Chains A and B, each alone.
Chain A
Amino acid sequence: MKVVFRWPATASRLGAVGTIPPGFTRSYSYSTASRLVTHRLFSKGSIYLYLDDRPTDQPTNRPTDQQTNRLNMNIIETHSLTKKFGDFKAVDAISFGVEKGEIFGFLGANGAGKTTALKMLIGLLKPTGGSAMVAGYDVEKHPDQVKRRIGYMSQKFSLYEDLTITENVRLFGGIYGLPTTEIKEKTAKLLDRLELAPYAKRLVSEIPLGWRQKLAFSVAMLHDPGVVFLDEPTSGVDPLTRRQFWDMIYEAAHAGVTLMVTTHYMDEAEYCDRVSIMVDGRIEALDTPGALKKQFGTTTMDEVFTRLARPDQKVNHVD
């Protein structure tokens, strides 16, 4: 595979996210064997990362759902997954599949059931109905097998703030059973990657939020999990760090890690390979951002979201 980085003449590193420039079309092409095309739009007027020279008009060879089941088992798969709290159905029989290496956006208004669904997948909540397979194991029957293979970054920052960066990495490395030498190697690599080496011995509480989020993501990736769940990883993070964060997500996806991301930022939804939108505990829409926009006849995900989340209201879209 050939990787090409193209920089438009007008590129500046910082810029608002927006429309796709001419010659750059989004595509979500995969092959079952290896990831062939990753054509990413990072931000308007800034970095365009073009990871393949394959013509973008070539038909994608994403397998259909049925094919997927036969050829390439989904790494996350739910069947009528349900969570009831008393009479209230927080998650109402959702069924979906996520492929290996996919960036799967999990959208929905507050209280739509995203976090509840996510927590069932990572074994923090017990489903009241249906089933879910994650990384090849049933979350109900083999929660520990699942936990060994997944990473999780919660909405709330959840590294130990009174430990240093190194200590946090060592703790989580140790918990996942990494050998001491590997922990040391990974710590060095992580510090290097995040440019945090000067802060290695600083308490986590002393470093800024954006860095902490990147650190938390790296820690969640420490044991090389097949699937990583990110629950609103970028809320409260500045735009630049947010973009760097997404760089990390792409890097992980490129390495074959599946990422399930919940977010409230619609520009981030655009970055996802596929997006599901939950409304009142149900998945109301699930497709690529492009297809969803087409389906709803809009130009932005923002509008798609608003229509679904509040179908009874006329939408005044503000860009």
Chain B
Amino acid sequence: MRTVFFLVQKEFLQIIRNRTMLPVMLVMPVVQTLLLSFAANYEIKNLALCVVDHDLSPMSRQLVGKFTGSGYFKLSESTFSRSEADVSLARERSDMILEIPPDFERNFMREGKTGISLTANAINASKAGLGMGYAGNIVRDFSSTISTTSGAAPGARINMTYSNWYNPKLDYKAFMVPGILGEIVALIICFLTALNLVREREMGTMEQLNVTPVKKWQFILGKLLPFWALAMVMMAVGLTVGWLVFRIPMVGSLWLVFAYTLFFAPAMLGIGFLISNFSETQQQAMFTAWFFLLIFILMCGLFTPVDSMPQWAQWLNMLNPVQYFVAFMRQVLLKGATFADVQQNFYSVLTYATVVNGLAVWTYRKRN
């Protein structure tokens, strides 16, 4: 253990001396949380709406008013010709067309049933989907107020089925921040470990250590412990920023979050270690790490829900450590999950860390 102490001490000295490493580790979580949370959210405002109102009834005007007053839509054009509206959509002057048929109000009042048509430019599928979601909310809201105030046929409604019960306030920050935090910690730790080790190989200091009686486990522990500690610090910094800037809910126990990070960090460290074992240069390590991390990040559930991936992808995703972390953070911070709720996740990560680090120790060669 004394040997490990000397190695850890050396590692900390190097981290403190490194002009880029420490800033990267402290500034990156802050900047990324701020930047990604503000920029990479799904909240869409000011969708350009082209209105084709063939009815021109009080009710149709009221509906258009609801749309423009919602804050999500702004009226880009108003026309009586559907083809003109199509051109507007094609030229990207508008994102959506709201077409109200001539008998809109009459049908509603008489038959208790009417329809509108919404057309969205779905090149940006998520934008279109969200626009539809907002519209659905507005129409449903509108139809329920109209039917109670206008004395229409009982049970009158506008046919527009869409369900968007999810995140009604559309506060994506609360949803994104915990995920991003997990992703950043995972990424930085994995990268730093891989690069740090390969750097020692490049500098020749690894060879020097390899001719000493240092045991494999001592060497690996000497590397793991400092980066492990850093992961915890980064987590604390990130959570503080999330709390101060975004007021992200922290419903669950923070102790649980840190306890989990304690298990999760070694998994990412182990991956970094494993990559370094197969890399001769920092460049190789960068490419390999990037290959895996990109997949990890895109599939971690931060940007697309894991549940909607095809079954094979979900199976594959069991190898993605970041996915566990993102799921955990959301469950605990937003929903207030307790250990009992997330223990499966705990065990998965623990197994993951054990296997990866086992492989790392096994493939680390003091001798070629």
Contact = CB atoms under 8 A, between A and B. Distances in A.
B213 interface: yes
Given A171-B6, A176-B212, A177-B213, 7 more contacts: A158-B205, A160-B10, A161-B203, A163-B13, A163-B14, A171-B7, A175-B6
A256 interface: no
A126 B365 CA distance: 11
Contacts of B5: 174
B214 A125 contact: no
Contacts of A122: 211
A170 B13 CA distance: 12
Interface in A113-145: 122-126, 143-144
Nearest to B368: A125
B220 to A, nearest CB: 14
A162 B22 CA distance: 14
Contacts of A150: 211
Contacts of A44: none
Contacts of B208: 152, 154, 158-159
A154 B213 contact: no
B9 to A, nearest CB: 8
Interface of B: 2-3, 5-7, 9-10, 13-14, 17-18, 203-205, 207-215, 366-368
Contacts of B366: 123-124, 143
A157 interface: yes
A162 B204 contact: no
A163 B208 CA distance: 15
A243 interface: no
Contacts of A174: 2-3, 5-6
A126 B368 contact: yes
A158 B204 CA distance: 5
A172 interface: yes
Given A123-B366, A154-B204, A161-B203, A172 B211 contact: no
Contacts of B18: 162
Contacts, number: 77
A175 B9 CA distance: 12
B211 A123 contact: yes
Most chain-A Cβ atoms within 10 A of its Cβ — which of B203, B205, B210, B213?
A: B213
Most chain-B Cβ atoms within 10 A of its Cβ — which of A144, A152, A172, A174?
A: A174
Nearest to A176: B212
15 contacts: A122-B211, A123-B210, A123-B366, A143-B366, A144-B215, A148-B213, A157-B204, A158-B204, A158-B208, A159-B208, A160-B205, A175-B7, A177-B3, A177-B213, A203-B17
A307 B359 CA distance: 50
Contact of A123 (B6, B14, B204, B367): B367
A152 B14 CA distance: 23
Contacts of A147: 211-213
Contact of A175 (B203, B204, B212): B212
A144 B2 CA distance: 17
Contacts of A125: 367-368
A124 to B, nearest CB: 6
B213 A144 contact: yes
A287 interface: no
A124 B368 contact: yes
B357 to A, nearest CB: 22
Interface string A46-60: 000000000000000
A56 B18 CA distance: 57
Nearest to A160: B205
A237 to B, nearest CB: 17
B213 A160 contact: no
Interface in A158-186: 158-163, 167, 170-172, 174-177
A150 B204 CA distance: 18
Contacts of B203: 156, 158, 161
Contacts of B2: 174, 177
B367 A156 contact: no
Nearest to A120: B367
B211 A160 contact: no
Contacts of B13: 162-163, 167
Contacts of A144: 213, 215
A125 B366 CA distance: 9
B185 to A, nearest CB: 25
Contacts of B10: 160, 163, 167, 171
Interface in A75-131: 122-126
Contact of B367 (A124, A161, A162): A124
